[in-house]
Structure 1
Amino acid sequence: MVKMGKDYYDILGIKRGASEDDIKKAYRKQALRFHPDKNKSPGAEEKFKEIAEAYDVLSDPKKKDIYDRFGEEGLKGGGPSGGGGVGPETFSYTFQGDPHAIFAEFFGGRNPFEQFFGARNGGTDEDMDTDDPFARFGMGGSGMGGFPRSFSSGMGGLGGQSSVVKKHQDPPIVHDLRVSLEEVLSGCTKKMKISRKRLNHDRRTLRTEDKILEVQIKKGWKEGTKITFPKEGDETPTNIPADVVFVLKDKPHPVFKRNGSDIVYTAKISLRDALCGSTVNAPTLDGRTLTVSTTDIVQPGMKRRISSEGLPYPKRPDRRGDLIVEYEVKFPERLNQNARDTIAQVLPRS
């Protein structure tokens, strides 16, 4: 005769041959009754763990089959081998699960006590029969088996429906990431420190931790480019962590303005140079100086384009935009009479 060891059926308060739904209902009832958050009696924590182990075995067809044939010792690899089929010599079970994690998973990550115990119009825990935590709902036909409809859709497979409430992901957490034009020119790596909440191993309590995210800035990336780190936001028992999104923003530059993959340099010249020809020393992003000369009359707002001295194209980083030299003519604030007379003689009226 096989020694049974622990009687998982007795722990859940059911008989051998119980159906899958019976096992789920029994676990639900016993887990709520002995959960340490509600049951402060000595031994409740250990009983809660035994209930989780019993459910872990009986809810798994393979484990349940071995247990039914060979008992606890056979399930855990200590019993005799059976004839035919899978025997204990080919299967060794040790419960290493977290009873709180099993509880949270069963209830879809929710805190069921908020529904069972938290909405009873001011009543206390002593008002409820913990042997039947569903008794207060009555049998009013509002959902499967007398449960409210909000329960029948997510209570461990009741009524043939999903056993886990689908978690929803929090909205993205968006941060601006400012980069200089020099960084866009050459590409760079930015290390961004974030602080977020994470679940501890008990899957209930939270800790705050810091993490460094490395953002690879590629050559030529435009302002508004988004870099996403999936599920790096706060974690709770009831959510899917949000994505962390960085949005590129150009830092204001003391010399240049950006126009897509082109950069614009404003060259300030005198009225004399505008009329008589000018030479401008235009800087580049990588520290060089380019000489730009013109003998033409420079109109205010006139531009000269220098090819391939701008920023890399995002999709073709081996090619670059242009450096645009935009002229700004500085007019004198005052002229003496001799200068006025000279200009009047030289310049046409129209």
Structure 2
Amino acid sequence: MTRVFFILLIGFVFAVDYYEVLEVSPDADEAEIKKAFRNLSRKYHPDKNPGNEEAHKKYLDVTKANEVLSDSSKRQIYDIYGEEGLNDPQLFNRRRGPNFRFELEVDLEDVYNGLAKETTIRRNELCKKCKGTGAKDRKTVPCKHCGGKGVRLQNVGGFGFNMQMQVQCERCGGRGFLAAERCPGCGGQKVVNALKTLNVQIEPGMDNGSEIVFPGQSEQSPDWFPGDIIFVLKLKNHARFERRGNDLVTSIRLTLKEALLGYSKQISHLDGHVVQIDFTGVTQPESVRIIKGEGMPHQDVPSNKGNLHVRFIVDLPGKLTLDQENTVRQLFPR
């Protein structure tokens, strides 16, 4: 009991403030942490400061801080239990929280050209005031229900036998401590509902059903490691193009004259460039012409593209004049 309680208490003594080391706020997102580490590691790198012991120590501190804060699991443990919590293997054995899946509607142009799209979601986050402890000023007391152990013994009996089984304390949730006074920021709930903005990067060539995953960005709780946020692409129907794998299909309407003698047509593509197609001669109704390399980009190698299938629809006149009928009979006697 003493050992468990000692670990829980000492977890709140922050020997090193990793946020201060990286010169970022505790609210810093992944991009800010990455940028700060890049700048500071460059500044204190041993190659730039030969023989400078202070710079070398700073470099090691910056590297260690980045190792913790850039890892969502380690960062959550550090935020709640401090540096000592990172040395407690039991904290790393917590279950993983649920994944959240969101449907994201996109245009065909978006998956042809690629797009960075900001999307805002709601989720529960650890209270920043108490770091998920639920306690005002993060002051806690041992749980009296389990004596600070986080577990208690429960009697189980039946069929002439009686035994004791160790179960997680339902009062403290297995943590062994309770808030001395409720945190005013979350009312002792440990989490608050907040908006989270994510920069969703849609890569050229992505398809309907493609998933964009943000690891560890789902609901936060002191009881689990956050799951993932997953965006599933839903491709909208397009007015002019239909996607079939890496190929595109479109239609061009021809007059009877164009179908018999030839045509010169332009297709405005999904990125605005123009595809010119010319032909002299007879074009059969519903015939298809394939233009290589004018389809969708391949997701793995965007410079490689599928083909464009052009289907020709021939518009016949609704009615002919007498002169036109005679002309047709002369041209096609059989």
Distance of 1:324 and 1:221 partners within structure 2: 20
* Partner of residue 181 from structure 1, selected from 98, 108, 132: 108
Whether 2:143 is the aligned partner of 1:216: answer: no
Residue 203 of structure 1 aligns to which amino acid in structure 2? T
Residue 191 of structure 1 is matched in structure 2 by 118
Residue 337 of structure 1 is matched in structure 2 by 322
Residue 303 of structure 1 is matched in structure 2 by 288
1:159-174 paired onto structure 2 within 5 Å: 167-170=95-98, 172-174=99-101
Distance of 1:55 and 1:236 partners within structure 2: 17
- SS of 2:319's equivalent in the other structure is coil
Distance of 1:347 and 1:287 partners within structure 2: 42
Could you list the per-position Cα deviations for residues 47-77 of structure 1 after superposition, in whole angstroms to 9, with x for gaps in the alignment? xxxxx559758xxxxxxxxxxxxxxxxxxxx
Question: Is this contact kept in 2: 1:199–1:236, CA < 8 A?
Answer: yes
Q: Alpha carbons of 1:313 and 1:202: their partners in 2 closer, same or farther (altered >3 Å)?
A: closer
Question: Is this contact kept in 2: 1:268–1:327, CA < 8 A?
Answer: yes
Whether 2:160 is the aligned partner of 1:232: answer: no
Distance of 1:261 and 1:274 partners within structure 2: 29
Distance of 1:303 and 1:254 partners within structure 2: 19
Residue 291 of structure 2 aligns to which amino acid in structure 1? I
* Partner of residue 243 from structure 1, selected from 189, 210, 228: 228
Distance of 1:288 and 1:55 partners within structure 2: 63
Q: Alpha carbons of 1:165 and 1:294: their partners in 2 closer, same or farther (altered >3 Å)?
A: closer
Distance of 1:322 and 1:212 partners within structure 2: 37
Question: Is this contact kept in 2: 1:219–1:317, CA < 8 A?
Answer: yes
Q: Which residues of structure 1 form unaligned runs of 5+?
A: 1-19, 28-51, 58-100, 103-161
How much has 1:283 moved relative to structure 2?
2.0
TM-score normalised to structure 2 length: 0.51
Distance of 1:334 and 1:199 partners within structure 2: 74
Distance of 2:7 and 2:273 partners within structure 1: 75
Distance of 2:290 and 2:253 partners within structure 1: 16
Q: Which residues of structure 2 form unaligned runs of 5+?
A: 11-79, 82-89, 135-188
* Partner of residue 284 from structure 1, selected from 249, 269, 286: 269
How much has 1:261 moved relative to structure 2?
2.1
Distance of 1:186 and 1:325 partners within structure 2: 21
Q: Alpha carbons of 1:348 and 1:222: their partners in 2 closer, same or farther (altered >3 Å)?
A: farther
Whether 2:277 is the aligned partner of 1:272: answer: no
Could you list the per-position Cα deviations for residues 108-151 of structure 1 after superposition, in whole angstroms to 9, with x for gaps in the alignment? xxxxxxxxxxxxxxxxxxxxxxxxxxxxxxxxxxxxxxxxxxxx
Question: Is this contact kept in 1: 2:115–2:201, CA < 8 A?
Answer: yes
Could you list the per-position Cα deviations for residues 254-275 of structure 1 after superposition, in whole angstroms to 9, with x for gaps in the alignment? 3322222222221111122212
Distance of 1:173 and 1:228 partners within structure 2: 10
Question: Is this contact kept in 2: 1:277–1:294, CA < 8 A?
Answer: yes
Point out the structure with max Rg over C-alpha. 1
How much has 1:246 moved relative to structure 2?
0.8
Q: Indicate the structure whose relative CO is greater, using CA pairs within 8 Å and at least 6 residues apart.
A: 2
How much has 1:282 moved relative to structure 2?
2.0
Q: Alpha carbons of 1:183 and 1:168: their partners in 2 closer, same or farther (altered >3 Å)?
A: closer
For these two proteins, the number of residue pairs brought into alignment is 200
Residue 294 of structure 2 aligns to which amino acid in structure 1? E
Whether 2:192 is the aligned partner of 1:207: answer: yes
Could you list the per-position Cα deviations for residues 208-260 of structure 1 after superposition, in whole angstroms to 9, with x for gaps in the alignment? 11111112222222222111112322234545433211112323333322222
Distance of 1:282 and 1:261 partners within structure 2: 18
Distance of 1:301 and 1:262 partners within structure 2: 18
Could you list the per-position Cα deviations for residues 22-47 of structure 1 after superposition, in whole angstroms to 9, with x for gaps in the alignment? x58xx8xxxxxxxxxxxxxxxxxxxx
**Considering only aligned residues, what root-mean-square deviation do their CA atoms show, in Å?**
3.2
Residue 73 of structure 1 is matched in structure 2 by none
Residue 293 of structure 1 is matched in structure 2 by 278
Distance of 1:332 and 1:319 partners within structure 2: 41
Residue 146 of structure 1 is matched in structure 2 by none
TM-score normalised to structure 1 length: 0.49
Distance of 1:193 and 1:163 partners within structure 2: 30
Residue 298 of structure 2 is matched in structure 1 by 313
Distance of 1:166 and 1:54 partners within structure 2: 16
Distance of 1:55 and 1:245 partners within structure 2: 34
Distance of 1:214 and 1:163 partners within structure 2: 30
Residue 38 of structure 2 is matched in structure 1 by none
Distance of 1:346 and 1:169 partners within structure 2: 76
Q: Alpha carbons of 1:335 and 1:54: their partners in 2 closer, same or farther (altered >3 Å)?
A: closer
